[in-house]
Amino acid sequence: MKQCHMFNYFIYGDLMTYYTLLIKQGDSFSPEFGDYSKETVEGEIDSLMGSYNPDSDRFYLKRDFKIIKTTGKQSAIDAKVAEINSKLKA
């Protein structure tokens, strides 16, 4: 029997890994979708792959997506996104 992801979050809190989909918008990445299941986040990429990206005036490519792992706290997600974006500008 599969347990609910939210049940696990309330039981284990920060011990669980949270996966966030980042999408490149211009010259930086921004968080667009997240879940405690990596497969769910990968499914979101599959649904977006090949669709039109109005920010870049072209279709999404694999390089437009990143999946990051954090605790799920917004501050942890924001810090990881800032770290990735700072490396892009360096």
User: pLDDT digit string (tens) for 28-45?
Assistant: 999 999 999 999 999 999
How is 50-81 classified by DSSP, letter by letter? TSEETTTTEE--GGGEEEEEE-S-HHHHHHHH
Phi/psi at 50 (5° precision): 85, -5
- Give the pLDDT mean for 1-28: 71
Q: Are 21 and 67 a contacting pair, CB within 8 Å? A: yes
pTM metric for this prediction: 0.80
- Residue predicted with more confidence, 40 or 25: 40
User: Starting at the edge strand that comes first in sequence, how are the strands of the sheet with 18-25 ordered?
Assistant: 28-35, 18-25, 65-70
**Percent of the chain beyond pLDDT 90?**
60
Q: What is the pLDDT of residue 1?
A: 43
Determine whether 87 is exposed, middle or buried from the number of CB atoms within 10 Å of its CB (0-12, 13-18, 19+): exposed
